[in-house]
Amino acid sequence: MSLLDDARAVRENAYAPYSKFAVGAALKTTRGTVFKGINVENVAYPEGTCAEAGAIAAMCAAGEREIAEIAVIADAPAPVPPCGGCRQKIAEFAGPDVVVTMSTMDGAVLQMTVAELLPGRFTVDHMANT
């Protein structure tokens, strides 16, 4: 099963009663472990949490910290990139050359590196003077 297949399968568990916009994400760590995440909405926070953030939280909860690749899928007319907050979270745990695969349910795919997805990202190097 590919990482995109994992994201497609977990997407079925998304909780999106308000937007109806289900998103699934799966990431593989440098150790080869796969973690999955879904978007979750609620009445107090209808925009919800992101699938990518959920997968990253699961990775961290398991004690891992390095993303080797990540895939995101949604039922949209074009591949949906991670939101700005998730781009920064991905950049925190993935090197600039790590590939982010974005896909639609119809099979359209867009791949970008973390550096392409988030140019000028904030890194620990920005805090060198503190």
Q: Binding site: residue ranges?
A: 39-45, 50, 83, 86
Mean pLDDT of 10-32: 96
- Domain 3-127 class? alpha beta
- For residue 36, which of 16, 14, 55 has the smallest C-alpha distance? 55
Q: Are 29 and 75 in contact (CB under 8 A)?
A: no
Q: Which of 87-91, 111-115, 123-127 has the lowest mean pLDDT?
A: 123-127
Q: Binding site for Zn(2+): residue ranges?
A: 50, 83, 86
Q: Which pair of tokens denotes residue 56?
A: 């990253």
Q: Which of 54-58, 65-69, 117-121 has the lowest mean pLDDT?
A: 117-121
Q: Are 50 and 41 in contact (CB under 8 A)?
A: no
How much is the mean pLDDT over the chain?
Answer: 94
Q: Could you give the CA distance from residue 11 to residue 95 in angstroms, rounded to a whole number?
A: 25
128 falls in which pLDDT band (50, 70, 90)?
confident
Name the catalytic one among 12, 52, 64, 66. Answer: 52
Q: So where are the chain's domains? A: 3-127
Give Cβ neighbours of residue 86 (< 8 Å, ≥ 6 apart).
50, 52, 53, 56
**At how many degrees (to 10) do helices 84-93 and 51-61 cross?**
30
Work out whether strand 45-49 and strand 67-74 pair parallel, antiparallel, or are unpaired: unpaired
Element (H, E) at 81: none
Question: What is the pLDDT, as a whole number, of residue 66?
Answer: 98
pTM of the model: 0.91
Q: Could you give the CA distance from residue 78 to residue 73 in angstroms, rounded to a whole number?
A: 10
pLDDT greater than 90 at residue 32: yes
The length of the chain is 130
Question: What is the pLDDT, as a whole number, of residue 79?
Answer: 97
Phi/psi of residue 116, nearest 5 degrees: -70, -35
Active site residue 52: yes
